[in-house]
Amino acid sequence: MNLLQILKDEWALVSGAPFTIAAITVAIWLVVRLIYKDRLSSAKELLELKSSQLTEIQDRTGAKSPE
């Protein structure tokens, strides 16, 4: 079965309970956002740490960046 056929078959359910479908969609979005917000925050912190370490090493060795 293709996706278009599945959507066509399930449209009666979606149109019969639009508020419920919208509420479930928002709830899933919020959970995913909370999970990935932590992960993105950790990744940003790690990137900042590595950047400061690189700058410190360059300062100690007198190395220049490739730019």
Q: What is the pLDDT of residues 7-49, one digit of tens each?
A: 888 888 888 999 999 999 999 999 999 888 888 888 889 999 9
Distance CA 21, CA 53 (A): 48
In a domain, 43, yes or no: yes
**pLDDT for the residue numbered 47:** 92
Separation between Cα atoms, residue 44 and residue 36, nearest integer Å: 12
1 part of a folded domain? no
Is 42 part of a structural domain of the chain? yes
Q: Is the pTM higher than 0.75?
A: no
Count of domains observed in the chain: 1
Q: How many residues does the chain have?
A: 67
Tokens at 12, concatenated: 């009666």
Query: What range does the domain containing 26 cover?
Result: 9-60
Residue 25 lies in a domain: yes
Residue 51 inside a domain? The answer is yes
Measured over all CA atoms, what is the biggest interatomic distance in the chain, rounded to whole angstroms?
A: 69
Give domain status of residue 39, yes or no: yes
Q: Using the predicted structure, report yes or no on whether residue 55 has a pLDDT greater than 80.
A: yes
Residue 26 is assigned to a structural domain of this protein: yes
